[in-house]
Amino acid sequence: MQSTYNKEPEIRISGEGHNLWSGYAAIGQEMAARLAGKAKAILTVECYPGVRIEEIVQGLQSTLMIGHLFHAEEASLGKEPLEALLAPYLTEDRVFGYMSPLELAQCYDPAKLEAIRAKVEAIREGLVVIIGFGASLVTRGDVLVYADLARWEIQLRYRSGELGNWLADNREEDILRKYKRGFFIEWRMADRLKRALLPDADFYLDTNRKDEPNLITAASLFACLDQAAYRPFRLVPYFDPGVWGGRWLEEKIGLEPRSNPYAWGFDGVPEENSLYFRIGASRLEMPAINLVLFRPEELLGEQVYARFGAEFPIRFDFLDTMGGQPLSLQVHPLTAYIRETFGMAYTQDESYYMLDVGDEATVYLGLKEGVDSEAMLNDLEKAQQGGFSFPAEHYVNVYPARKHDHFLIPAGTVHCSGCNGMVLEISATPYIFTFKLWDWDRLGLDGKPRPIHLEHGRRNIQWDRTSSWVEQNLVARAEPVGEGEGWKEERTGLHELEFIETRRHWFTGTVPHHTGGRFHMLNLVEGEEAIVESPDEAFEPFTVRYAETFIVPASVGAYTIRPAQPAADSKLATIKAYVRA
């Protein structure tokens, strides 16, 4: 069957006056028009770390006569003082750092900034361009442009070797260490600056695609955010190969075949996914996190925002082992541990919803009765030394997995997906905090051993999560909670230790929903196509297809979901997650 999964979902923006300039020639002409009539004009281009600064400079020079160019980073602290400032948050660990509270201004030398300001002030005529991550610390200028890109694009630039971290000569460094520096330090500083600065900017520059920039006024950008915050929408998905990957995503989603199979699919992670805005004949790409940063109450709801701040606390993603290998045997940190050790406010509770299964699909979950903790840890340590394979089945429960089973995984529970499963992972958002205990004697795609964190693991494994407790609390729970004409609602979890509530709706007719002031994240887990509608036509009907994840902002309130075609003979189903009251 031809896949109907939409890999490029767009939010179509209505209304007039939302101009979009594409390409450096058009952008340069608009800048020239905005600065016309000034003997001396200052153009400040503030950049998210990872933006191709030289590309922007060259692109503008093709149209504008730049008289004076200043790179903001010339005023930074310098390599040694900067590394000393960042060291407590980087740590020696390959994967994990500590969540940095730093502001970008702390990475700059006030005297050097003042020296650049003095030079700029002394200029009497011509176009002055100040650019870089921190350009706005010099001056706002006559025109302020914010240049942005998505974190997934940054990761691709890390991987290709094109990009190192900000002010770090590390383009060839291990991708995990580059990602760590971005995740724990750079992106946190950048988001703080963006949230403070973008409302004061004149323009927003989309730099996700090489030599294909798009410029929009900041006023129009915020109008786009306003429209997105009051309707259902999808994020732009991306898919990634992995050592344990299967073939389901390639075959069912219709992805380009890869020599290394796809392991992950991310279509519900606002911190890393993008949004596409369709504005007339043009399309703007923007990091989805911007909607969270600038419209948190409308998107999240007042209570969720008060609890988590401007963060989207739930994510949906795919784990494909169909015809592949098991994930690493792993455990996630307890809340107190993640707070004290990594500076995170909440932890990575999660669950596995079996979107599809093959023959003999399994899930590893919890420990067997009577497990000797020291013996298990000794065997894990022995396996790490090589020449010994950890006997996972001796210590860990292995459960058969059927389509639509839901396995709950509160932090501290040993687990992993086995072979021949297509998992919709429903999780809290701190998604890099996986302590691998055992990786089945294999190497990563880079030919290096994947990082194992036994010391972290031993401090978080809950040894009382054994067979009887797991089977009573975590395996395939489905409690009927409501029904109406053509629909039935079930509570499938999550465990009381987790803050996420999940509800499954089976339906052949129209299902009423209400956000209750909290955002909903859903996936169509059964059926080809459904329609999401507003009872009072507050938004246009929204189409979702099999396996697509979508978000309903808290501001929406009442909405309905129905089959796109009459479904008397076949049921559709959605799984819905939201923050429990």
Spatial contact of 567 and 539, defined as CB atoms under 8 Å apart: no
pLDDT for position 444 = 78
How far is residue 271's CA from residue 289's CA, in Å, rounded to a whole number? 5
How far is residue 410's CA from residue 402's CA, in Å, rounded to a whole number? 20
Q: Is the pLDDT of residue 430 over 90?
A: no
**73-94: average pLDDT:** 96
Q: Is the pLDDT of residue 320 over 80?
A: yes
pLDDT for position 247 = 96
pLDDT for position 372 = 97
pLDDT per residue over 524-550, tens digit each?
999 999 999 999 999 999 999 999 999
Among 11-20, 206-215, 326-335, the least confident range: 11-20
CB-facing half-sphere around the CA of 109: CA atoms within 13 A:
14
Q: Domain 24-212 adopts which CATH fold?
A: Rossmann fold (3.40.50)
pLDDT per residue over 464-485, tens digit each?
999 999 999 999 789 999 999 9
pLDDT for position 476 = 76
How far is residue 89's CA from residue 185's CA, in Å, rounded to a whole number? 7
Residue 360 burial (CB count, 10 A): 10
SS3 content of the chain, % helix, strand, coil (to 5): 30, 30, 40
CATH class of residue range 240-473: mainly beta
pLDDT for position 386 = 85
pLDDT for position 235 = 98
**Inter-helix orientation angle 53-61/24-35, to 10°:** 70
From residue 385, alpha-carbon distances to 1, 53, 95, 244 in Å are: 47, 45, 20, 22
pLDDT for position 1 = 47
Q: Which pLDDT band holds residue 447 (cuts at 50, 70, 90)?
A: confident
| Phi, psi of 166, deg, nearest 5 | -60, 125
pLDDT per residue over 296-305, tens digit each?
999 999 999 9
Q: Is the pLDDT of residue 357 over 50?
A: yes
Q: Is the pLDDT of residue 571 over 70?
A: yes
pLDDT per residue over 361-397, tens digit each?
999 999 999 999 999 999 999 999 888 999 999 999 9
Q: Which pLDDT band holds residue 449 (cuts at 50, 70, 90)?
A: confident
pLDDT for position 2 = 59
How far is residue 141's CA from residue 135's CA, in Å, rounded to a whole number? 10
In the sheet that 66-71 helps form, which strands lie side by side, from edge to edge? 20-22, 214-217, 203-206, 143-148, 40-47, 126-132, 66-71
Q: Calculate the average pLDDT of the chain.
A: 95
- The domain limits of the chain are 24-212, 240-473, 479-579
**104-130: average pLDDT:** 98
Spatial contact of 446 and 177, defined as CB atoms under 8 Å apart: no
Residue 54 burial (CB count, 10 A): 10
Among 28-37, 285-294, 441-450, the least confident range: 441-450
**413-430: average pLDDT:** 96
Q: Do domains 24-212 and 240-473 have the same CATH topology?
A: no
CATH code, residues 479-579:
2.60.120.10
pLDDT per residue over 15-74, tens digit each?
888 889 999 999 999 999 999 999 999 999 999 999 999 999 999 999 999 999 999 999
Its pTM stands at 0.96
CA diameter of the chain = 81
pLDDT for position 402 = 97
pLDDT for position 16 = 86
**Position of tokens 């955010």?**
225
CB-facing half-sphere around the CA of 129: CA atoms within 13 A:
21
Residue percentage of the chain with pLDDT more than 70: 99
**557-581: average pLDDT:** 92
Q: Which pLDDT band holds residue 100 (cuts at 50, 70, 90)?
A: very high
